[in-house]
Amino acid sequence: MAHLIDGKAVAAAVRDEVAEGAAAFEAAHGRRPGLRVVLLGDNAASQSYVRAKARAADAAGIDADTLLHPDTLPEADLLALIDQLNADPAVDGILVQLPLPDHIDEAAVIRAIDPAKDVDGFHPENVGKLVLGEETLEPCTPAGIVEMLRRTNVETSGAHAVVLGRSNIVGKPMASLLLRRGLDCTVTVCHSRTRDLAQVTRQADILVAAIGRAEFVTADMVKPGATVIDVGINRVEDATRERGYRLTGDVDFEAVSEVAGALTPVPGGVGPMTIAMLLANTLEAARRRATRPAG
């Protein structure tokens, strides 16, 4: 039976460290690290997620504010708002909640954010630094997975890591981080067009499932004893539940837990780490801005 990797516990440790760092920053600079989250529209899932971010930020000593706007907000107005936040000295981190309405160019919005305040780690400048192995603000979910591996003493050096999914948010940056010195994995990236997919995933010492398909990874796709990180959060209809659905990951949890050596649950695995790393990025951005030479 697989050992469960408790993302809630690891995230709590990260948040405690951020709170300590934020308190020291406030004592040194007379203000809290500042985070602004921009949310367009009234999507219930996005609103719930943003509220969770705000609560966690406040508890960690970060000055967080959510800027709510209708989903009809023109792109020019959103870009003007980002310009204001870029220029605001009290703002260290800017996060525009994705996805955005169809009439707004997400790439243009991401590029408009000051890379030094890009706590999502999505700006092309930060992505480039990540690929080059330079210090930068890292995308929160992949960075959170790295913290989970480190803090639960998963051996990475020389391990074969297979990343299932090639998105810009998780798959690609995850591969870049796993290749870095200090982790030193051999990395394979798989996707929907990969031939003999199960044969490839069975080679993984570390399998990161981020394909966005409920319970896609089955027991026969997992190497006995492997560490399996489930990034997926999917709603599956379930008439036995009061709300009519249940949350599940990209991994068939019950079956894979009989094969894997370690496994993250959904919920309670990667999700809490994403928010924790957002707070860590905000503190790091504040520290860098405070020590950056003027001009």
Each residue of 5-50: pLDDT tens digit? 999 999 999 999 999 999 999 999 999 999 999 999 987 777 888 8
Q: For the chain, what percent of residues have pLDDT higher than 70?
A: 99
Q: Is residue 294 scored above 70 in pLDDT?
A: no
Find the mean pLDDT for residues 237-258. 89
Question: Is pTM, for the whole model, over 0.75?
Answer: yes
Which of 63, 92, 114, 120 is catalytic? The answer is 120
How far is the C-alpha of 176 from the C-alpha of 133, rounded, in Å?
8
> What's the whole-number average pLDDT of the chain?
95
Q: For the chain, what percent of residues have pLDDT higher than 90?
A: 87
Enumerate the known binding-site residues: 165-167, 233
Query: What pLDDT band is residue 192 in, cutting at 50, 70 and 90?
Result: confident
CA angle 172, 174, 177 (to 5 degrees): 115
Portions of the chain given CATH number 3.40.50.10860? 29-114
What is residue 39's predicted lDDT score, i.e. its pLDDT? 95
Rg of the Cα trace of the chain? 19
Domain 29-114 listed as CATH 3.40.50.10860: yes
CATH topology of domain 140-271: Rossmann fold (3.40.50)
Residues found in the chain = 295
Which of 97, 114, 129, 252 is catalytic? The answer is 97
Enumerate the known binding-site residues for NADP(+): 165-167, 233
What is residue 244's predicted lDDT score, i.e. its pLDDT? 80
Does 120 qualify as catalytic in the annotation? Answer: yes
Portions of the chain given CATH number 3.40.50.720? 140-271
Find the mean pLDDT for residues 243-260. 93
pLDDT in tens, 123-180: 999 999 999 999 999 999 999 999 999 999 999 999 999 999 999 999 999 999 999 9
Does 53 qualify as catalytic in the annotation? Answer: yes
Peptide bond into 89 cis (omega under 30): no
